[in-house]
Every structure is written in structure tokens, then in C-alpha cells.
Amino acid sequence: MALETAGPLAGTDPAAHGPGHLTPGDRAGLLRSMLLMRSVEERAMNLYRQGKVPGSFYDGFGQEAVSVGAAWALAATDRLCILHRDLGAHLVRGVPPARILGQYMGRDGGITRGRDGNVHFGDHTRGCVGMVSMLPDMMLVATGMAMGFKLRHQDRVALTFFGDGSTSRGDFHEALNWASVQRLPVIFVLENNQYAYSTPLAAQFVVDPIARADAYGMPGVRVDGNDAEEVFEAVHAARERALVGAGPTLIEAVTMRMHGHAAHDDMKYVPPAQLEEWRAKDPIDRQAARVARDGVDVDALREEVRALVDAATQEALAMPMPDPATAHHGAFHDPADGEVVLADGGEAPWSGFAAAGGAG
């Protein structure tokens, strides 16, 4: 299959961009979700510096367009594996910021009730699977969810994120190969943020991952990962393709990790000029300029998000720590508690679902 390149890496004129699937409301919604992601993560970093977040803290500063744009294209019946630079996907699905901040602080009200930290969570009531640290493992989990949809003849897709470092692991190969052999409705979103911890792309691979899509018999689509609308369009197209039984798509969203691997990382291995170059391509600035042209009061939107995060912070700080007496509970599910599988409770805000009569 041909390698499709959906756009240049940079330099897209925001004013010229507008492929047609997004209403002004969607465009503002994308901005709001990105603002919310950045605001929650900045607040969490402050809490970390105050000693309220145990361990280290991991964020997706500068990468907000990837998770927000991708999640915006998914229906409530679709399923996601969300990784640690992808907080925006949780927010699009409707996870309350207070529970996320509680999660970071190890509180009982966090999604994992203190069992796991930072972005290692998935709200199964909203159709999301919590990641494990061995990131490309989730490529196989997503492939398996898609396999389940195909076995049951359901019109649904699974999506997973993963990073440039993940392409070096065997599970990357196993997932792409398996998904292609079985023509599964799965979307692989490679979030190329230039570094796996301190390891740059040149030390990770010789052949660009998107070029490898051809070897697996699936389209490889490279998008500007700092453009939420371009990410949305690529995932939307991949979803349409998956729903007609045409199989998986590999999307490479090219972006930049603007912070260290985690709060303890001073990023001395990143050339300052590289950061400067990417700072000029900030995904929120770009979307804000578009939305402002649509007549939206962006300052008011920023203020609304700030107030929301202020309230969420207070709510999270009021959450108790988990009871140490429960630390050994929960390794196994008790059948008496009923069957638990991923549920359809996540939000699917894209206007196209509402227009289709709530098919989302």
C-alpha cells in the first residue's frame, strides 16, 4: 500500500486549515481540552514541587494536540489505551480533573485509589484501559480489543498511543503484524516526541517507523502532532477505514516533548535550539489563534479552565489518603462483585456523533 503523507511537519498556515469535519464548537472544544490538560499538568507540577505528589511527575507539555485530537475522533463505544503523555484523552472522555489530581497525589479518590501513580490509570467505566510502563504492551491489548470487536461483528474501533522508543520493542512488530494479518479495526498512534527518555531518534531506529507501515501492509500516515485538527482528521479517516473492515492504520504524530522525561530530568541532552524551534509551534497557541478567528473569547476560556482546575485542586486536596489496611486488597476480582468489562460511559464530544443521532 502506498505511503500517505497527510501534511507537512510544520509551517501549516492555520488560517488555511479546515478540512471540514469540525464545527467551530469542535474547534473550541479541542482548544478547551488542550488548555485543561496543560492546566491540570501545570497544577500537578506545582503540587509535586510542594511535596504533595509522591515519586516523580510525568507530563505531556507540548504534546496536547495528539491525545486530544485523537480522542476527539472516537465514539463512546470505541476503546482506548492511553499513555503517560496523553492526559488529554482522559479529559476528552470525561474523567473529572479532581480525580486526576487525586491520582497524582496517591489519594483514595484517585482513579486507582493510590494503587498506581501519575498517568498510570484508565477509567474502565469510560472505555479506557490503564497503561503499563512497558508501553508497547498496550499495542497488543488494543489489538486484542479490536479482535474482540471483529469476532462479535461490532462496529467499533480500538486505539492505542505509543512512543518512538516503543518501536524498538518486539511487541511493536507483533501488534502491527497481527492486526494486519487479521485486518483488525485498530488505530496505532505513534507519538513521536523526538526522545525516549534521553535517547534521540537517531539512536532508536534507522528506518523511519512510518515507512515500515508499508511492510505490514497498512497505510502509514504522518501528521503534524502539534495540530489537533490534523491529528483528528487522520484518526477520523483511520476510524472510517477500520469500520468498513479495511484494517489497521499506523499514524505518526510528530511532536516534541518540551519537558524532561519526568520532573527529575533536567533535559541537558536536548539542544536549546531544538526546544526554541518547537516552542514556536506550540499546539495550544496554534489552536487558540484559529478559535479566536472563529470569534471565541479565548481569554474567557482560559479563565474558565483555570477556575475549574482551582476547584478540582481543592477537591483533590480534601481527598483522604487510602487506608493502609486495604493495601493487600484487590489483586483478584471477586465474582460476587459482578462482571466488570470496559463500559460505554466515556464522552464522545465530536459534533459528528451528535449529528448522526448519538451514534457515538
Partner 1 sequence: MATMTYLQAISDGMREEMRRDERVFVMGEDIGAFGGAFKVTDGFLDEFGADRVMDTPLAESAIIGTACGAAYVGLRPICEMQFADFISCGFDQLVNVAGKMHYRQGLPTNITVRLPSGGGFSGGPFHSSNPEAWFMHAPGLKVVAPSTAEDAKGLLIAAVRDPNPVVFMEHKHLYRRVKGEVPAGTYETPLTARIAREGSDLTVIAYGAMVHTALEATADLDGASVEVLDLRSLVPLDEEAILASVRRTSKVLIVDEANQMCAAGAQVAAVIAEHAFEHLDGPVRRVATPDVPIAFSPPLEQALLPGVDRIKEAARELLDY
Positions marked active-site: 257, 261, 269
Non-local CB neighbours of 324 within 8 Å, separated by 6+ positions: none
Q: In this chain, which stretch among 9-17, 141-149, 228-236, 262-270 interacts with partner 1, using CB under 8 A?
A: 141-149
Q: In this chain, which stretch among 52-60, 167-175, 244-252, 289-297 interacts with partner 1, using CB under 8 A?
A: 167-175
* Residue 207 is a binding residue for partner 1 (CB under 8 A): no
User: Shortest distance, CB of residue 178 to partner 1, whole angstroms?
Assistant: 5
Q: In this chain, which stretch among 19-27, 197-205, 295-303, 329-337 interacts with partner 1, using CB under 8 A?
A: 329-337
- Per CB under 8 A, which of residues 297..326 are in contact with partner 1? none
User: Shortest distance, CB of residue 328 to partner 1, whole angstroms?
Assistant: 10
Residue 126's nearest CA partner among 71, 184, 206 is 71
Nearer to partner 1, 207 or 332 (CB): 332
* Residue 50 is a binding residue for partner 1 (CB under 8 A): no
Neighbours of 194 (CB within 10 A): 18
- Per CB under 8 A, which of residues 224..253 are in contact with partner 1? none
* Residue 174 is a binding residue for partner 1 (CB under 8 A): yes
Q: Which of 32, 38, 93, 120 binds partner 1 (CB under 8 A)?
A: 120
Pair 102, 316: CB distance under 8 Å: yes
Q: In this chain, which stretch among 11-19, 63-71, 116-124, 226-234 interacts with partner 1, using CB under 8 A?
A: 116-124
C-alpha 109/C-alpha 114 separation (Å) is 8
Binding site for partner 1 (CB under 8 A): 79, 111-112, 115-116, 120-122, 124, 129-130, 132-134, 137, 139-149, 151-152, 158, 170-171, 174-175, 177-178, 181, 330-333, 335, 339-342
